[in-house]
Structure 1
């Protein structure tokens, strides 16, 4: 059986401070894993997953949300999301671990086709924007492949983008994450996650170029794009849809990056 660590998540749900990355507090780690059900066992899989999450992942740092992946190479698979937590949280003993493992092995694993793409991430609250109390619905997730040796350059560019989004689109929640164990083979170095309610949002012109130039000066966006192309090697995008029926916890996010 795979460890509970393979259930780490991408999205923070606990109350966090915007100053977290600049003081001595432990930073939050999150992670992701993708799985799929056997084509002829979808009902059994759903029932097992629902009951498992309600019993073992309905609260706290181990609370789980499940998302349906809408597009791309992982379309129709599921994303399991748990956490967030610090590394030291993983040292805490789980008195229900044996019961958890037995239920997982008995009621979920037999109906699972695959479980893969396990990744651990660091959440950057100073680059992110979570308004106080919003509900999970849909996510646009972009995974960037960054050139080796360009980490600091990447952070400086993210700082510029964050400034634009916070000033010009403060109502839009977004999160910034970097891979804790990056690999030149996976190409998963940076995640940018936007949270939205209606699919119509995807079809709207967000006027990023116009907003960027308003904040950083005329022509700054074109320069930024060229610089970003020099430090990145490509990206992939997916849309995730929150699946309440399979999740252990609800859509309410009691998180804020605002002081």
Structure 2
């Protein structure tokens, strides 16, 4: 999904920011060759601009050990002006990355829209780790689900103004895959995962006693469930740094 809002799109533009997420599964016997190939590719073709790339490593769940190649943020129009085939981009990927992926299932691609109004990027920061919560929204319940997300956003804005998280929606969702919404929380140290972030208390303080319990019931009514993955940024494989300049977003 991921996912980050430092691209300054023109205020007169109707375009929005999108990320391309490619989940890559290297052959376990060729990980060194894969890492060398993707590092060189990213440094040469994805080292700046809207097609800059960050690489993450998944540390839990069914996809443990896979890599996530995240390009963006970019407006859709920029896809017509990406690294051209004549510049050797496609051939380089074909010759130096693809041979080291698992046949058939080694490449999964998706595109995610950054929802600026729902997200919280109150300050500049450097990416290190991300908790990626992915949710399956029930058919016909998208508006209701996003209205509930907005309520949580408003609580954090009022009660925890320094919390940093991004909200992303799948541009091409699939009922089979069930990944419609991504909520990404950024953290530096693993101890963050064991902390009580007290969203229930804060939600009740803002919306009334018992409102968090009602929120959970409403959330279950509009979703089919979800899953959480921890993604770890791998700077040595990436084309761009983990620095996010939140102030640059219009």
Normalising by structure 2, report the TM-score.
Answer: 0.92
**Aligned residue in 1 for 2:224:** 233
RMSD (CA atoms) = 2.1
**Aligned residue in 1 for 2:113:** 122
**Aligned residue in 1 for 2:233:** 242
SS in 1 for 2:42: helix
**Aligned residue in 2 for 1:222:** 213
Deviation readout 1:4-34 (Å, 9 max, x if unpaired): xxxxx621252458xx7xx862111223111
**Aligned residue in 2 for 1:14:** 6
Moved more, 169-178 or 203-212: 169-178
Q: CA offset at residue 65 of structure 1?
A: 0.5
**Aligned residue in 2 for 1:253:** 244
**Aligned residue in 2 for 1:4:** none
Structure 1 pair 95–15 and aligned structure 2 pair: CA distance change class (3 A): closer
Query: Which of these residues, 189, 200, 204, is aligned with residue 213 of structure 1?
Result: 204
Aligned: 1:110 with 2:102 = no
Aligned: 1:157 with 2:148 = yes
Deviation readout 1:182-215 (Å, 9 max, x if unpaired): 1111111111000111000000011110011111
Structure 1 pair 76–133 and aligned structure 2 pair: CA distance change class (3 A): same
Normalising by structure 1, report the TM-score.
Answer: 0.89
Aligned length: 248
SS in 1 for 2:191: helix
Q: CA offset at residue 255 of structure 1?
A: 2.6
